[in-house]
Structure 1
Amino acid sequence: MITQLIKNALIVNEGQKFTGSVLIKDGLIHEIFTGCPENIESDWKVIDATGKLLIPGVIDDQVHFRDPGMPQKGDLFTESRAAVAGGTTSFMDMPNVKPQTLTQELLEERYKLGAEKSLANYSFYMGASNTNLEEVIKTNPKNVCGIKIFMGSSTGNMLVDDIDTLSQIFEKAPLLIATHCEDTPTIDANLETYREKYGDDIPMDYHGEIRSAEACYKSSSKAIELAKKYNTRLHILHLSSGMEMELFDNKLPAKDKRITSEVCVHHLRFNDSDYAQRKARIRWNPAIKTESDQNKLWEALLDDRLDVIATDHAPHTVEEKDGNYMQAAGGGPLVQHSLVTMLEFAHKGKISLEKVIEKMCHAPADVFQVEKRGYIRKGYFADLVLLSEEEWTVNKENILYKCAWSPFEGDRFHYKVDQTFVNGQLVYNQGQIDESVRGERLTFNR
């Protein structure tokens, strides 16, 4: 591998901003300089980053790249390609694929797919069900990101609703448990109420009342109760309601918490007033809720009750998203636009650049104990992103998702990803993608 010097960038890292340079050698960060080094070797490839931001690559702890089994929606190649174009260099993928990842054998098959197809670094969750406890407890904490439990009616027979099974998983899990928390009986009762009134053609803006704050709180509080009982390492995904924010505290840094939390970009960006224009394109589970919920999520993010920002990237075809309330699929593509969306909030003064990098790069590495990633540090893997301040608009021509649409179509951003490095390899460069690059399996300091 060639030695590369990124010089004179505005480095945003570990709560600081400074003009500096980074030397990349053998896929690692070899040296970090304040300013520019005096001696530049003739065989170094020099990238002049004057006027650009240099940040660690984003680590997205919750994606659905749909591989194997749902090729019409996306796959590991297409979605990792979109990810690196958006500055995401590592991802953790969910087990609700076909076949569902419920055995160690199926889990390892997915890692083989990752090695074959992914342009970004990858990890895959082991899935839990009501009947696979023995497989779950075999999971290796050193090379698997976590165990995923669907404590809500989002995904068919992966719903874990047997309290004895839940208790045993929380007691015996050898590594972090990540949960989707919504109470199914509450959702079912709410849905029946609205179907009696509207039939199948329920107005989309009632989605947040059907998959309600109460449904989320009931399930999240149950997960936290179990985690405290068994001292389980728990991470609650895609929190969406203000009510749930009272369940978390900011007394410790993310790396020292036993119970951590995640918020997704779409819950920060949208509220229920946006359903009128964007309709099912912003239908997710858990649902986008009220402006009050959105404001309380922001408050909790800024005061560190919320630890991580992720996407829950979950593409569907346009046909799968169209139709009435009962037909439209929940979920949408996000990895290409998550970083620039959060940087747009920074541009508008709602959050600092340093806080964005903390929540999207540093904290995921800390929460999951990812080995040598998430920071610009000497000896760490050179997962790096260069961005310029440049206005641009999301449109059909620049969307890279296989499903070919985005909930951000028409949105204007003031930051643009110029270059993305994965393990020191320049995988994305000014709109050009080196499709020969392959990421590595994430490992964990546990």
Structure 2
Amino acid sequence: MTDAWLFKNAEMINEGRRWIGDLRVRNGKIETIGEGLTRIGDEQVIDANGLWLLPGMIDDQVHFREPGLTAKADIYSESRACAAGGITSYMEMPNTKPPALDRDSLEAKYTRAAETSAVNYAFYLGASNDNLEAIRTLDPKSAPGVKVFMGASTGNMLVDNPETLDAIFRDVPTPIITHCEDTPMIDANLAKAHEVYGEDIPAREHPLIRSREACIKSTRLAIALAKKHGTRLHVLHISTADELALFEPGPIEGKKITAETCVHFLHFSDADYEKLGFLIKCNPAIKTANDREAITKALAEGRIDVLATDHAPHLLEEKEQKYDKAPSGLPLVQFALQAALERVFEGKLTLERIVEAVCHAPAKLFDVDKRGFLREGYAADLVLVDPATPHTVTRAEVLSKCGWSPFEGTTFRTSIASTFVNGQRVWDGKKVDDSVRGQRLAFDR
């Protein structure tokens, strides 16, 4: 397998610029970026005329379900879906079974990923009411951050002890990332919905049960704690227009408090519950078209810094249950970049801004070492996007283990032509090279 490549005549998008040029890859790194480069030795030449050459997407929010929930997904299957979607690195959440609440469980996930992951990987340490010492002693180079569920979650991962929560924000040695929804408010809304609908709560009620008020109350608490202690805070999956005023617009550099949204909040609205039902049930909930437009605008102006997926697959038979049993979450990594690029064609986001939000910003936020940019000496994590070949999503092509996608039947105006991880082509536009393995992400802290 070669990792010596010469990309000719590519339209490169990087650090706010677009230009036509050539890029050479050797020994897993970007060796040269320039014009008029000629083939050397054994390198393979790719004529990228008419294609966009981007840094590979860094998805800082995925749930790959391993260990303990591997009937739904696992690192092997979901990392291949990433490769097909132009995602070259992911950061995976700790709410597995058992949850990653200590050093040993965290390292076990890294060991497994080294064996099976087709793209690069990192894993968060989780927070609970009783693992404060594990958080305090966490090696900042061993994880991108600590995940705090400040709202409803499963198992032992809802931090609802105020003293513990305060201590985590005070003592954490890495960025904190938070899921912000207020559990008592959600529980009260759910009880009211049961009074009206019994067990047959319709999907359209989901954003009213997991309400905007529940989101903003919890987000305000997280920001207050971060300001109190000077904590580096990243608030995940912003879903409401109401929360946006809590964050500052502009470049990510220098910010202590940052925000993220997800591709499904840019794509769907509450009007889609009628057709898709619990397939798009997720936490926090997809809300109104007005929220969608406000979030998209906030992403454009840098008020929202990062765009990710919150990829969270469940089996179809689980999604077909009634409201209380139908789990929240949807599979997204394979088509996330294409979904995001639709906003470029609509004129709502620039291509340069998309690249900033899905490549550069996560690398900056988490101090990822030498990835996320088209720069000489950086890892050759690359994606070639064909902006002239539409792609209609079919169930047959879904690589996620759950076997379905909320985008089925959707025609995107782009195709993922190739994905390269550390200079190796892992996706050729049709299939994943099963021999490629990603690397553990390093953090320059």
Which residue is equivalent to 2:205? 206
Which residue is equivalent to 1:44? 43
Which residue is equivalent to 1:361? 359
1:158-205 C-alpha deviation (Å, 9 max, x unpaired): 100111000000000001000000000000011111111111111111
Q: Which amino acid aligns with 1:26?
A: N
Which residue is equivalent to 2:236? 237
CA distance in 2, matches of 1:176, 1:428: 32
Which residue is equivalent to 2:332? 334
SS in 2 for 1:263: strand
CA distance in 2, matches of 1:43, 1:319: 50
Residue in structure 1 matching 2:320, options 316, 319, 322: 322
1:197-221 C-alpha deviation (Å, 9 max, x unpaired): 1111111111001100000001000
Alignment of 1:434 with 2:433, yes or no, is: yes
Which residue is equivalent to 1:17? 18
Structure 2 residues without counterparts, runs of 5 or longer: none
Which residue is equivalent to 1:274? 272
CA distance in 2, matches of 1:159, 1:295: 31
CA distance in 2, matches of 1:82, 1:2: 21
- Matched residue count: 443
SS in 1 for 2:22: strand
Residue in structure 2 matching 1:259, options 257, 260, 270: 257
CA distance in 1, matches of 2:97, 2:272: 32
Q: Is the CA contact (8 Å cut-off) linking 1:104 and 1:138 kept in structure 2? A: no
SS in 2 for 1:254: coil
TM-score, with normalisation over the residues of structure 1?
Answer: 0.98
CA distance in 2, matches of 1:143, 1:89: 19
CA distance in 1, matches of 2:3, 2:144: 31
Deviation at 1:47, TM superposition (A): 1.1
Q: Which moved more, 1:339-348 or 1:221-230?
A: 339-348
1:290-310 C-alpha deviation (Å, 9 max, x unpaired): 122112111211111100000
Aligned pairs for 1:155-166 (under 5 A) are 155-166=154-165
CA distance in 2, matches of 1:367, 1:356: 16
Aligned pairs for 1:153-232 (under 5 A) are 153-232=152-231
Which residue is equivalent to 1:5? 6
1:313-354 C-alpha deviation (Å, 9 max, x unpaired): 000000111122112110010000100001122122221111
Alignment of 1:350 with 2:348, yes or no, is: yes
CA distance in 1, matches of 2:377, 2:142: 20
Q: Which amino acid aligns with 1:85?
A: A
Aligned-residue RMSD, C-alpha: 1.0
CA distance in 1, matches of 2:98, 2:78: 19
CA distance in 1, matches of 2:142, 2:51: 34
- Aligned-residue sequence identity (percent) comes to 51
Deviation at 1:396, TM superposition (A): 1.3
Which residue is equivalent to 1:312? 310
SS in 2 for 1:89: strand
SS in 2 for 1:115: helix
1:267–1:407 Cα change, 3 Å: same
Deviation at 1:143, TM superposition (A): 3.0
CA distance in 2, matches of 1:84, 1:226: 37
Structure 1 residues without counterparts, runs of 5 or longer: none
CA distance in 2, matches of 1:137, 1:364: 23
Q: Is the CA contact (8 Å cut-off) linking 2:296 and 2:349 kept in structure 1? A: no
1:123-144 C-alpha deviation (Å, 9 max, x unpaired): 0000100000001112111231
SS in 2 for 1:46: strand
Q: Is the CA contact (8 Å cut-off) linking 1:383 and 1:421 kept in structure 2? A: yes
Which residue is equivalent to 2:72? 73
Q: Which amino acid aligns with 2:7?
A: I
Q: Is the CA contact (8 Å cut-off) linking 2:3 and 2:423 kept in structure 1? A: no
Q: Is the CA contact (8 Å cut-off) linking 1:27 and 1:424 kept in structure 2? A: yes
CA distance in 2, matches of 1:156, 1:285: 16
Q: Is the CA contact (8 Å cut-off) linking 1:52 and 1:386 kept in structure 2? A: yes
Which residue is equivalent to 2:88? 89
CA distance in 2, matches of 1:274, 1:154: 25
CA distance in 1, matches of 2:429, 2:362: 27
Alignment of 1:115 with 2:96, yes or no, is: no
Q: Is the CA contact (8 Å cut-off) linking 1:11 and 1:54 kept in structure 2? A: yes
SS in 2 for 1:433: coil
Q: Which amino acid aligns with 1:394?
A: V
Q: Which amino acid aligns with 1:81?
A: R
TM-score, with normalisation over the residues of structure 2?
Answer: 0.98
Which residue is equivalent to 2:34? 33
Deviation at 1:155, TM superposition (A): 2.2
CA distance in 1, matches of 2:230, 2:267: 33
Q: Which moved more, 1:324-333 or 1:82-91?
A: 324-333
1:365-419 C-alpha deviation (Å, 9 max, x unpaired): 1111111011000000000001112112101121111111001011001110011
Deviation at 1:2, TM superposition (A): 4.2
Which residue is equivalent to 1:140? 139
CA distance in 2, matches of 1:209, 1:6: 49
Q: Is the CA contact (8 Å cut-off) linking 2:129 and 2:160 kept in structure 1? A: yes
SS in 2 for 1:355: helix
Deviation at 1:156, TM superposition (A): 2.9
Q: Which amino acid aligns with 1:285?
A: N
Q: Is the CA contact (8 Å cut-off) linking 1:154 and 1:285 kept in structure 2? A: no
CA distance in 2, matches of 1:290, 1:45: 48
Q: Is the CA contact (8 Å cut-off) linking 2:129 and 2:158 kept in structure 1? A: yes
Q: Which moved more, 1:136-145 or 1:203-212?
A: 136-145
